[in-house]
Structure 1
Amino acid sequence: MKWVRRLLLVLLVLGMVTTVAPANAAKWQPKPGATFNVPRAGDKQYRIHEQIVGAINHARKGTYIKIAVFSFDRKNIAQALVRAHKRGVRVQVLLNNHQVTPAQKLLHRALGKNRWKKSFAYECSNGCRSHGENLHTKMYLFTHTGSARDVVMTGSANLTKNSAVNQYNDIYIRNNSPAFYRGFNELFGQMRKDKSQGYWSTKIAKGILLQATPYRNFGPKHDPIITMLNQVKCKGAIKGYGTRDHRTIVRVVMHAWNEYRGLYLAQKIRSLFAQGCDVKLMYGFAGESVRNTFATKTPRGYIPVHTTGYDTNEDEFIDLYTHQKELLISGNYGKKRGTKMVVTGSSNWNPEGLKGDEEILSMKLDGAYKQYANNFQFMWANKSHLVKYIPYPSTTDKSALASLQRLFATVQEESIPKRGGPAWEND
């Protein structure tokens, strides 16, 4: 019955269900592919946490759980990790040092802080691979949980209540994938040293690339996202890719899109729209220069732009928003006229997105693209709205168009809900 399933889900997420029948434990495995939560939607808001807690609860004795995450305040997840440790699982947790929550203190007491032990909970010193920045990566690794081995979970989700109830997040899960696990485990090993290092990348498999920052001396001609966007050709997509009229599809959903880096990425996206690409954009927060770029008309008109940022309690701060960091491409890309690609991870489109410990995972996988594209369309239709600072012709008569364009050409922060406040995570 549906109500029984919901009750069990709530108890699992709250940490009140700690054991499962042996037969079920042997068969259980994380749900492969992409999982997306829906904040403020009952049990749907905990979809991602459910997968992580389930994997922790099913981790086998003598195996490893390795987690690297920016924010961690979920005491029930900390308790699940402690229980796993007590039954013989080696639990290793790397955290950022911007805060030490009660959940982190619980891990300290149970696991210790010595990162060279088999189990630990350790806060890196202003980034694990970067210097003076943040550990912002979000990865959850399991050598054996339930019936699955070599499990990787990664995406935009932190282990916070906020990540479930106020944010839209994603997590991509691979089971029984030694190549995926090796790549992420190598990155975890580098981070464990808590030592400044440079840009690193590894080709996990054909069409799958994992990149880790810091990415030094970035700019309009030297940026991992620009490198990808430069391979987009807006026309000539073959059947089954892009649009019916053979244009390449570009979709972006971005938590924070701002400052100098955000500007040149916005300019690049705008140029692709002008060249004929089918472009749609969503964001939680965008800086003034980025919004001005979107509000500048091209010969094709204005880029379709939605915001997921809402001020639901009318305190002038955004409290419901996307935390995803995704780029989707379908169509003529590189040397192939038929490519479907997903880019996800922890990196926002701003300078901070390349300065600290970030991961950028690009996957040329049709199945992953379908899942992410479906989620984008769901959010576009149901969880976002057209921005108000672009005078789209469908909502404005011609006589008012010129004055509206002048009014919104330089959009000030005060004219929209601002980032900040208790629900905003600046990551």
Structure 2
Amino acid sequence: MAAGIALLLAVTVLVTGHGLLPAAGAAPAAHAAPSAARKPDPAYVVTPGITFNHPFRRGQRGKIHRKIVKTLKNAPAGATVRVITWNFDSPYLARKFIRAHERGVSVQIIMSRGLARSQGGNPARSYPMMLRAFQRDEENRPPGMESWIRTCSQTCRGKRGSMHPKLMIVSRSGATNWIVMQGSGNFTGAAAVQQFNDWTTVTENKPLYDGWMRMWDEAKQDRNFPVLRFTTGNITSMFAPHRDNVDPAMSVLNKVQCAGATNTSHGRTKVRIANAVWGEARGARIARKARQLDRQGCDVEIVFMMMQRRIRHILRGMRAKQMVYIYGEQADKFKDRYVHMKGLAVQGNFDGRPDGNVVLSSSENWTQLGWHSDEQNIIIRDDAVMTQKYVDQVDLIYREAPRTLSNYVNSADPDPDPRVRHSDREYLSPKEYPFHLLEAELS
């Protein structure tokens, strides 16, 4: 358990703080008056599909955040926006949510209690800023249109672990209805400027929207609920805690056949994996399956941020690279640039179809903690465009990744190899920029 917590928390800096936080199950305590902000465009269309950011490239750092902001800006008065995120720490995004609230949109957000406390009462930090804004002029809000930001005690729908999703559910934006957005990125500046993340958007799918709203209605009560899994058309949703159910990653990988692909140039099924943290028995189990597929002739490629040494040993000899740049002999999480995605794509022979296309997009690290924490997984089949984009993104990260399994940087590794030493010269690229300037680029 301790190792699992270390694995999960390794990807974000935690700052200790104090503060009184409303629980997710508490009564709503926020309203606001509409403002004269720019009116939403009723003709705006939220584009479905998958979005990636690139923390090293100026024009691509904020792509996911810009997608979120455009959706918010065009949500009309009377619309609802629901967010669950492990961390909300971006004044830029916080201001956008406040403006939507002031325009008459019902904004409700759940985030990690520990991370909310770490922001204390600092008026410039996101949690206190939104808490105050949502509580202003509450008598002017119509019934059912309350806005609030809350926390869960640990998980929101389970008994232990951590609440770790990253998602947004919007009733309407412009001309688009029933919007479900989710992925690997938290609502933080770091998600845009430090991490490789993905963000998947599904629109005009009322059954999917209703299923995700059911999950939301359970989560805001902050108590234990049964496993929630359902399929709508070509999309399967899986919400942890998983308990005794099949692992989402294994549910995909177990259906892969390596030969006979008709939608790849070499006839071999492509398996592209991008998961930040692999640990314990769960990470080893998925690694062994990836190894098996590689030996059976699949075209397997893996990028990651951190994994235990025994898992690296399982993958030895495969095409697996660590995407993490560190400045200085000691890891500084504020300066790291790393892959933070948590999913995979299969292009080829899948579940009896030689031209199969599948993408798993998730908030879930492949650890025991991820198994019994709050997480979201979405598996989309038969979307050739999305699958190709995911394959291309993993290929891009793999080409740019600075390290192989044998040239591994033991950044916050719970199982470090004391024999490995590194020099400062390994940590000089890409060029470092001040964090506040990077965040300012998103405005």
Q: CA deviation at 1:277?
A: 1.0
User: What's the counterpart of residue 346 of structure 1?
Assistant: 363
Q: CA deviation at 1:260?
A: 1.8
User: What's the counterpart of residue 232 of structure 1?
Assistant: 256
1:259 aligns with 2:283: no
Distance change (3 Å), C-alpha of 1:147 and 1:217: closer
1:93 aligns with 2:109: yes
User: What's the counterpart of residue 19 of structure 2?
Assistant: none
Q: Which moved further from structure 2: 79-88 or 66-75?
A: 79-88
User: What's the counterpart of residue 372 of structure 2?
Assistant: 355
Deviations 1:354-407 (CA, angstroms, capped at 9, x unpaired): 1100111111121211221121222222x313515189xxxxxxxxxxxxxxxx
Task: Report if the CA contact (8 A) 1:198-1:213 is conserved.
Answer: no
Identity %: 26
| Paired residues for 1:24-173 under 5 Å | 25-100=41-116, 101=119, 102-112=125-135, 118-173=146-201
1:384 aligns with 2:397: no
One-letter code aligned to 2:269: T
Q: CA deviation at 1:212?
A: 0.5
* CA distance in structure 1 between the aligned counterparts of 2:210 and 2:419, rounded to whole angstroms: 47
One-letter code aligned to 1:304: R
One-letter code aligned to 2:85: V
Q: CA deviation at 1:85?
A: 1.5
One-letter code aligned to 1:160: T
The structure showing larger relative contact order (alpha-carbon pairs under 8 Å, at least 6 residues apart) is: 2
User: What's the counterpart of residue 241 of structure 2?
Assistant: 214
1:303 aligns with 2:318: yes
TM-score, L = length of structure 1: 0.80
Structure 1 unaligned regions, length at least 5: 1-17, 296-301, 392-409, 418-422
Distance change (3 Å), C-alpha of 1:198 and 1:89: same
Q: CA deviation at 1:28?
A: 2.5
* CA distance in structure 1 between the aligned counterparts of 2:371 and 2:226, rounded to whole angstroms: 11
Task: Report if the CA contact (8 A) 2:361-2:378 is conserved.
Answer: yes
Task: Report if the CA contact (8 A) 1:288-1:413 is conserved.
Answer: no
Corresponding residue SS for 1:188? helix
Q: CA deviation at 1:74?
A: 0.9
| Paired residues for 1:186-201 under 5 Å | 186-201=214-229
Deviations 1:3-38 (CA, angstroms, capped at 9, x unpaired): xxxxxxxxxxxxxxx95476xx23333333111111
* CA distance in structure 1 between the aligned counterparts of 2:302 and 2:421, rounded to whole angstroms: 18
Distance change (3 Å), C-alpha of 1:103 and 1:317: closer
Distance change (3 Å), C-alpha of 1:293 and 1:172: same
Task: Report if the CA contact (8 A) 1:327-1:343 is conserved.
Answer: yes
Corresponding residue SS for 2:163? coil
Task: Report if the CA contact (8 A) 1:251-1:328 is conserved.
Answer: yes
One-letter code aligned to 1:50: R
Task: Report if the CA contact (8 A) 1:202-1:210 is conserved.
Answer: yes
Q: CA deviation at 1:313?
A: 4.2
1:415 aligns with 2:442: no
One-letter code aligned to 1:72: F
User: What's the counterpart of residue 368 of structure 1?
Assistant: 386
Q: CA deviation at 1:340?
A: 0.6
One-letter code aligned to 1:375: Q
Distance change (3 Å), C-alpha of 1:370 and 1:179: farther
One-letter code aligned to 2:161: E
Corresponding residue SS for 1:173? strand
Corresponding residue SS for 1:233? coil
One-letter code aligned to 1:125: S
CA-atom RMSD, angstroms? 2.5
One-letter code aligned to 2:187: L
One-letter code aligned to 1:46: G
1:184 aligns with 2:212: yes
Distance change (3 Å), C-alpha of 1:363 and 1:39: same
* CA distance in structure 2 between the aligned counterparts of 1:71 and 1:208, rounded to whole angstroms: 26
Q: CA deviation at 1:112?
A: 4.7
Q: CA deviation at 1:332?
A: 1.5
* CA distance in structure 2 between the aligned counterparts of 1:63 and 1:322, rounded to whole angstroms: 34
Following TM superposition, the consecutive aligned residue runs of length 4 or more in structure 1 with deviations greater than 6 angstroms are none
Corresponding residue SS for 2:346? strand
| Paired residues for 1:231-250 under 5 Å | 231-237=255-261, 239-240=262-263, 243-250=264-271
Q: CA deviation at 1:225?
A: 2.2
Structure 2 unaligned regions, length at least 5: 1-35, 120-124, 139-143, 409-414, 423-434, 436-443
Q: CA deviation at 1:166?
A: 0.8
User: What's the counterpart of residue 23 of structure 2?
Assistant: none
| Paired residues for 1:2-41 under 5 Å | 19-20=37-38, 25-41=41-57
Q: CA deviation at 1:103?
A: 0.8
One-letter code aligned to 1:412: D
* CA distance in structure 2 between the aligned counterparts of 1:185 and 1:416, rounded to whole angstroms: 49
Q: CA deviation at 1:170?
A: 0.8
One-letter code aligned to 1:92: Q
TM-score, L = length of structure 2: 0.77
Match of 1:286 among 270, 291, 307: 307
